[in-house]
Structures are given as structure tokens and as C-alpha cells.
């Protein structure tokens, strides 16, 4: 397969990866800059088949847009709203329950709680709203709503609330089977004047990496990932993946790595910026599989609805959360494809398609039960089969 390569050094590196050998950062720099997209994705797909089999999973979810006020301002974001915006969300407990119950009836298993970054630190309206529901912080309210959803509907909470303190994550661990915090990039230059994260202090890589390490110390299954094409270099993609790798090797808690392509959105500072090329994005996906061969690697299908099937060949084994009910409030410009259409594409590519929980089966099989509190295991067992996937009769 690899003998036709003209660049023998990249050829040798990729041969070693197929033999299960670990590559260095310098090796990875060479791969991502080589331009040999077809070959690199072929190798990544082979590694995926070897390490993860031919199963591609997804999580059937409802998206609970709890509060979309945010102390940060990112140059590419349309999620954040101002208090005066008619699309500002400050959800009541009844609203949360209504969405979760509707999701239960549609056989969802995940309640995805998403919020802006600590809005109470910036907006008096957020503080007043929190007081009206009996809390002083967003995390306190998430904890209460997670408990309510868990008890009343059986949906399993997963929270994406940005950078959290260790105390905040400890609070959420009691009711959330997993947490999510996107690294996006380890590049500190993205914080500079005129760059995407200039007005977003929580996107400082040091802050995000500390959150990931603290989650590891607390033994919380955690989702993270990269946003490709926001101004980072190809070498910085490699650096970011190696930082995630190092943290996971220390704590063993990273459950999946999302590789997401930047998609320009109207009425943002980056609306005229070009997205990453398809080949460059494919190499980024494939490299995540090569650097992290045992990891669950996800690409959301809605951001490139006509070509998402190509990502299977690049080594992914998961599509992330897809909702039969609620929109993607972070990317409202990009509706989710139907679950049936994603299954069809997955099957014609020669892979099986199954629903998973918002916590991966690996964490359910671990002898170290500190990753999953006992009270959450009781809910999990009602939904899963012997392999830790959602029972097929449940989602049928």
C-alpha cells in the first residue's frame, strides 16, 4: 500500500504507525505538512479498524440551552446573546423539564446542558435570573437541573459550561456522567489583539488545560477537542493533540476528542474568513487517530452535511450528539442531519451504527468505579446492554 510514496521519510513514519509504534511530534509535523491526504487517511482508517473495529457510534440527545449569555466574546461565535436579544435564553425549571420529557418520549438518553461562560460575572440580568431560581451561580443551577432531569426522566446529563474550577466540577460529578470542555487550540497567539480569542479569557490554553487536568484528578470522563482553522498553524494542531495525549496518559479520563472544522458565520468578525480546506481537515482528523490510536475520535456531521461520510475513511468512530428534537444552538446555521440519514451513510461505508450514552462504554467496564458514582450507575444500567451501548430495543 505504501511503496508508491515519493517521500520515503513519511512512508517510513506511517509504516511504523501501522506496526503500532508511537510517533514523535516531529514525525507528526511531517505528516500533516506532507500533503499526502489519501495515504494518511488510509492509514488512519486502518488504525481505527484495528483499534476500534467497524462500529461508529452517536449519542441520541436533547440540547438544553440553559443560558446563552456569556462573559467571553469569540470572533466566530453566534451562540452568545446579549440580554436584550430576543433569542437570549434564561430557562426555567419547567422549560428544562418539558424539553427533557419530550426527549425521553423520543428515546433520547442524553441531556446536554450548554451555557455561556459564567454569565453572572458580567450581566446583572444573569444574576437576577439565578436569584429567581434560588441560586447564585450557573453551576449551582446546572446541578439542580441535572438532578431533576435525572430523577424525572432518566436522561443522563452531560454539561458543556466552559472552563470550570475543581470545586464546580466536583459538584457536577454527582449528577453528570461526563463533562465537556473544548481545548480548541493550545496556541496562545489566538489570544492576541485582533485574534479570535482576544476577548475570551476563558479560552486561554492555560485555563483550558488546567480544567482538563482538574477533571482528570477528579476522575470525570471528559470530552475535549480542537477547532480547526481559526488561525492556528498546522504545527499547533499537532502540539494541541500531544497536550491532550499527555493529559490522558496521566489521568486516563479523556473519553473522546472532537475534531471540528471552523465554519464562517454571518454577522461575526470572522464571517469572511475561509474555512479549512477539505484535505487539510481530513489530515487533521487522520492525525488525531494516528497520535491517539485508542481514542474515540468524533467529527460532528452537521457542519459539512454533504460530505461527512468522508470522515469515516479518515479514522473517526463517533458522530457525537444528534437530536431528533432540538437544534444545535451553538451552530444554528447547520441543522443536524436525520439520525436515519447518518445511519445510512455509515452503513454504506461498511460500518455498523449504534447509539451510545454520553459516557463511553470503556468507563462502564473499568474496575476503577470512581469514574462513575454509584447512583448514576443505577440509571445507566437501565439503558445499556452487555457491551455498554444503548439497548437496541430501547431506541428501536
Nearest Cα to Cα of residue 224 among 214, 361, 80: 214
Q: Residue 149 pairs with which residues in a beta bridge?
A: none
* In contact, 5 and 39? CB cutoff 8 Å: yes
Alpha helices in the chain (DSSP H): 8-18, 25-32, 37-52, 93-105, 124-132, 138-153, 166-173, 205-217, 234-251, 278-291, 310-313, 339-348, 361-364, 374-383, 392-395
Average pLDDT rounded to a whole number, residues 16-21: 94
- pLDDT reported for residue 3: 44
Identify whether 208 is part of a domain. yes
Average pLDDT, the chain: 96
Cell of 327: 437544534
Give me the CATH number covering residue 388.
3.20.20.70
* SS3 of residue 188 by DSSP: helix
High-pLDDT (> 70) share of the chain, %: 98
pLDDT in tens, 62-116: 999 999 999 999 999 999 999 999 999 999 999 999 999 999 999 999 999 999 9
Rounded to whole angstroms, the Cα distance separating 44 from 37 reads: 10
Identify whether 167 is part of a domain. yes
Identify whether 250 is part of a domain. yes
- pLDDT reported for residue 2: 46
Identify whether 265 is part of a domain. yes
- pLDDT reported for residue 296: 98
Number of domains present in the structure of the chain: 1
Answer whether residue 1 shows pLDDT above 50: no
Rounded to whole angstroms, the Cα distance separating 217 from 237 reads: 25
pLDDT in tens, 123-149: 999 999 999 999 999 999 999 999 999
Rounded to whole angstroms, the Cα distance separating 361 from 355 reads: 11
Identify whether 290 is part of a domain. yes
pLDDT bin (cut points 50, 70, 90) of residue 8 is low
pLDDT bin (cut points 50, 70, 90) of residue 6 is very low
Identify whether 318 is part of a domain. yes
Dihedral, CA of residue 328, residue 334, residue 339 and residue 340, to nearest 10: 160
Domain range holding 297? Answer: 49-395
Identify whether 15 is part of a domain. no
pTM over 0.85: yes
Identify whether 263 is part of a domain. yes
Which secondary structure element, helix H or strand E, spans residue 1, and what is its range? none
Greatest CA span in the chain, whole angstroms? 67
Answer whether residue 295 shows pLDDT above 50: yes
Question: From the CB of residue 299, how many other CB atoms can be counted at a distance below 10 Å?
Answer: 26
* In contact, 129 and 89? CB cutoff 8 Å: no
- pLDDT reported for residue 369: 76
pLDDT in tens, 216-255: 999 999 999 999 999 999 999 999 999 999 999 999 999 9
Rounded to whole angstroms, the Cα distance separating 192 from 194 reads: 6
Average pLDDT rounded to a whole number, residues 198-206: 97
Nearest Cα to Cα of residue 304 among 336, 274, 258, 272: 336
pLDDT in tens, 337-373: 999 999 999 999 999 999 999 999 999 988 777 999 9
* In contact, 120 and 90? CB cutoff 8 Å: no
* In contact, 223 and 180? CB cutoff 8 Å: yes
Rounded to whole angstroms, the Cα distance separating 156 from 134 reads: 23
Amino acid at each position: 500500500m505504501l511503496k508508491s510514496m515519493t517521500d520515503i521519510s513519511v512512508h517510513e513514519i506511517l509504516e511504523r504507525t501501522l506496526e503500532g509504534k508511537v510517533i514523535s511530534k516531529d514525525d507528526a509535523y511531517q505528516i500533516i505538512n506532507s500533503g499526502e491526504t489519501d495515504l494518511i487517511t488510509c492509514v488512519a482508517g486502518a488504525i481505527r479498524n484495528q483499534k476500534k473495529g467497524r462500529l461508529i457510534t452517536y449519542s441520541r440527545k436533547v440540547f438544553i440551552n440553559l443560558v446563552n449569555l456569556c462573559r467571553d466574546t469569540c470572533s466566530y461565535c453566534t451562540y452568545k446573546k446579549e440580554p436584550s436579544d430576543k433569542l437570549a435564553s434564561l430557562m426555567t425549571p419547567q422549560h428544562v423539564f418539558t424539553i427533557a420529557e419530550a426527549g425521553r418520549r423520543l428515546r433520547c438518553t442524553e441531556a446536554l446542558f450548554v451555557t455561556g461562560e459564567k454569565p453572572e460575572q458580567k450581566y446583572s440580568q444573569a444574576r437576577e435570573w439565578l436569584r429567581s431560581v434560588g441560586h447564585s451561580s450557573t453551576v449551582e443551577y446546572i446541578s439542580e437541573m441535572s438532578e431533576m432531569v435525572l430523577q424525572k426522566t432518566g436522561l443522563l446529563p452531560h454539561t458543556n459550561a466552559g472552563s470550570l474550577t475543581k470545586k464546580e466540577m466536583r459538584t457536577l460529578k454527582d449528577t453528570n456522567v461526563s463533562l465537556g470542555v473544548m481545548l480548541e487550540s493550545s496556541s496562545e497567539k489566538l489570544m492576541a489583539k485582533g485574534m479570535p480569542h482576544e476577548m475570551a479569557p476563558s479560552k486561554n490554553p492555560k485555563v483550558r488545560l488546567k480544567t482538563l487536568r482538574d477533571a482528570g484528578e477528579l476522575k470525570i470522563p471528559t470530552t475535549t477537542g480542537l477547532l480547526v482553522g481559526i488561525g492556528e498553524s498546522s504545527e499547533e494542531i499537532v502540539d494541541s493533540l500531544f497536550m491532550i495525549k499527555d493529559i490522558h496518559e496521566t489521568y486516563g479520563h479523556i473519553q473522546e476528542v472532537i475534531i471540528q472544522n471552523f465554519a464562517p458565520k454571518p454577522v461575526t468578525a470572522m464571517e469572511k474568513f475561509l474555512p479549512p480546506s477539505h484535505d487539510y481537515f481530513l489530515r487533521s482528523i487522520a492525525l488525531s487517530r494516528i497520535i491517539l490510536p485508542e481514542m474515540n475520535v468524533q467529527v460532528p456531521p452537521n457542519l459539512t452535511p454533504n460530505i461527512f461520510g468522508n470522515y469515516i475513511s479518515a479514522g473517526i468512530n463517533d458522530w457525537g450528539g444528534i437530536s431528533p428534537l432540538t437544534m444545535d444552538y451553538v451552530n444554528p446555521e447547520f441543522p443536524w442531519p436525520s439520525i436515519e440519514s447518518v445511519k445510512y451513510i455509515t452503513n454504506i461505508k461498511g460500518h455498523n451504527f449504534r447509539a451510545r450514552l454520553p459516557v463511553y462504554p470503556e468507563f462502564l467496564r473499568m474496575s476503577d468505579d470512581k469514574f462513575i458514582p454509584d447512583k448514576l450507575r443505577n440509571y445507566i444500567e437501565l439503558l445499556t446492554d452487555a457491551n455498554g451501548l444503548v439497548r437496541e430495543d430501547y431506541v428501536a
